[in-house]
Amino acid sequence: MSIDEQKKEIREKIKQLKNGISLEEKKSRSYNILSNLEKEDSFLKAKTVMLYWSMDDEVFTHDFVVKWASHKKVILPCVNGNLLDLRIFKGLENLIEGEGFGILEPSGDLFTDIGDLDLIIVPGVAFDKNNNRMGRGKAYYDKLLRLTTCKKIGLCFDFQLLDSVPINEYDVKMNSIITE
């Protein structure tokens, strides 16, 4: 079986597991994951953090983004074609529906100082015990993550952390994974 076929199989398996959990349970489990993130030294020390505005099937970050935006410079990704642009989160009132996936994204000026990022928090479909990440297959994050040397932390529910995920030369490894 090819790497692409293996990834497709894992994506389908994880999708079924996610569909078996209510949004309320995902939010509750997300709270535990984000509480663990708040204890991380790299998060506590970071002044500029790239988070993400979650989709319904991801670790729920909406409240977390709002909470930490008053303490840190919070950057969110915005889909632009097949790349991610970065923008500073400046409150709920400045969010608009983005072009990809219907995710809310900040409006306003681009954040182009990627070297100023202290930490990037990354969603994924699956991760493994060697800190490998498997995304949705569009490589949005991998293209961005290759441009920076800052610490990268993946967030996932416990069933998304596998013994191994298939990877190729384009997949960017995380520094660590935080789960429940």
- Write phi, then psi, for 49 (nearest 5 degrees): -125, 130
Residue 102 pLDDT? 77
pLDDT at 139: 85
Tokens for 18?
């996610």
Q: Is the dihedral of CA 87, 90, 92, 94 positive or negative?
A: negative
**Does the 3-178 domain belong in CATH 3.40.50.10420?**
yes
CA angle 123, 124, 125 (to 5 degrees): 145
Q: pLDDT value at position 32?
A: 97
Q: Tokens 């319904």 identify what position?
A: 56
Closest CA to 47 of 9, 83, 75, 11: 75
Strand order through the sheet with 133-134: 133-134, 126-128, 161-162
**Residue with token string 């954040």:** 111
Q: Where are the domains of the chain?
A: 3-178
**Which tens digits make up the pLDDT trace of 113-160?**
999 999 999 999 999 999 999 999 888 899 999 999 999 999 999 999
Band (pLDDT 50/70/90 cuts) for residue 170 is: confident
What's the pTM value of the predicted model, to 2 decimals? Answer: 0.94
Of the two residues 90 and 137, the one the predictor is more confident about is: 90
**In angstroms, what CA-CA distances link 160 with 15, 18, 61, 151?**
10, 9, 17, 21
For the cut 90, the answer to whether the pLDDT of residue 86 exceeds it is: yes
Q: Output the six-digit token pair for 146.
A: 């290759």
Pairing of strands 73-80, 176-178: unpaired
Contact 75/87 with Cβ under 8 angstroms? yes
32-85 per-position pLDDT tens digit: 999 999 999 999 999 999 999 999 899 999 999 999 999 999 999 998 888 899
pLDDT value of position 100: 66
Inform me whether the pLDDT recorded for 97 exceeds 90: no
